[in-house]
Chain A
């Protein structure tokens, strides 16, 4: 079931089914976007809900105000909600301001522009991880699967902690390039 669209092509009043459709279509992206901005998992979960409730409330205000680009609109709302959340937290572990969030949005658009969205990006990333040379894949697994500290990884691989940090950053840069190559050439396989 599609969303009702205004003459300008935007989302107008939502009924229950259309809200479900909107949530199904965008919830993963909104959640991953909030995590990308720096929100902890439970915060991302709460703010993603608030984001869709804002869309629901807005759609019920009246016949005007179509949401022309739902994905961008939802990201904008979630960004503002995250900023407000961080300002309310006296001891927030994440330092954010509107400028850094704006940069983050630009980075998101830059990476995902012209692709099939975040899930395609993730699918390509999985494929790229599988293709990493053994040593790099081990480092990635120690960091992200086994959640080892940099000190532990450094000890196992005879590196300094700074060396591990630099290596991880280099591997991620290689993965980002690999993802872009795959997305541009359409070579996406998911797990």
Chain B
């Protein structure tokens, strides 16, 4: 008997004879989808109830003398130009990292040496990540939250995610940068010059060079730079996105999304990390027509994330 077969029988006996019943998750899942009920009657009831709650809540806040909380930081940090943490201020985390609370519903963990500017408005919190890495945990259904970077922005429709800025090659006064977004729970919407991209729990996405553009560190008001055509002798990007055009044995040939870029060949082996539609797979599962994102490592080491759409 295989270990897996033994484990299956053991687990089922443990659950069934031990009185463990799989829970009905329907109600909990529906609550978290924030879906709109279809019946107008219930919409009206919900709207009326919400309005009542808002009125009562607002009245209570006025009488209680409480107001929307100011941004609050603790840990190892300093504020550029001094003073307290406030909207418009840039917070620079020291080596020990820092924590930032926004509006009582957004909690941010700044890794050491992270630079982040506090933007946004009450119930529409927003930060601009200049460099470093931040872990964000956002309560649902309170207000909106977004992390902007000069590579793109991440809007929250879920609860927990990290954003990291990677500084790459310098080229004159321009710097190649990438934004790495990893969703730990819930979902986020990634936006940039390339369009919108929803990410769900477990997803990790690197954007920047992969979109065929080089960006300069910008001021918050500055528009995102326009896309550039790659130069003829450009070094290989750290990430390539495109479509598989051919699979020849262990070699997968990819036409990058950027029509100016030449076809790319990837030699796969047993160690090549491959996912198809978010599920771990083997290089042999890659077929022409799949959209792929290749994250290049040292030598020919690469991670390949493919989708069948």
Chain A residues in the interface with B (C-beta under 8 A)? 16, 19-20, 23-24, 27-28, 31-32, 35-36, 41, 45, 48-50, 52-54, 56-58, 60-61, 64-65, 68, 72-73, 76-77, 79-81, 84, 88, 98, 101-104, 106-108, 110-111, 121-122, 125-126, 129, 140-141, 143-145, 147, 169, 172-173, 175-176, 179
Contact = CB atoms under 8 A, between A and B. Distances in A.
B272 interface: no
B26 A176 contact: no
Contacts of A72: 279
B18 A147 contact: yes
Contact of A45 (B25, B277, B278): B25
Nearest to B182: A84
Contacts of B308: 65, 68
A41 B18 CA distance: 12
A108 B13 CA distance: 16
Contacts of B7: 36, 104, 107
A147 B184 CA distance: 35
Nearest to A24: B26
Identify which of A27, A53, A64 gathers the most chain B CB atoms within 10 Å of its CB.
A53
A159 B13 CA distance: 22
A49 B5 contact: no
Interface of B: 1-18, 20, 22-26, 28-30, 32-33, 35, 37-38, 157, 184-187, 198, 200-202, 277-280, 307-309
Contacts of B23: 31, 45
Contacts of B29: 19, 23, 49, 52-53, 56
Given A57-B198, A129-B17, A172-B6, 19 more contacts: A19-B33, A23-B25, A36-B7, A52-B25, A53-B29, A53-B32, A53-B200, A53-B201, A60-B198, A64-B309, A65-B308, A76-B279, A80-B278, A98-B280, A110-B4, A121-B8, A140-B13, A144-B18, A176-B6
A16 B201 contact: no
Contacts of B198: 57, 60-61
A172 B10 contact: yes
A32 B11 contact: yes
SS class, residues of chain A in contact with chain B: helix
Contact of A77 (B17, B24, B157, B202): B202
A122 to B, nearest CB: 6
A125 B12 contact: yes
A76 B276 CA distance: 10
Given A23-B26, A125-B12, A84 B202 contact: yes
Contact of A16 (B12, B35, B279): B35
Contacts of B3: 103, 107
A109 B252 CA distance: 28
A54 B200 contact: yes
A125 B186 contact: no
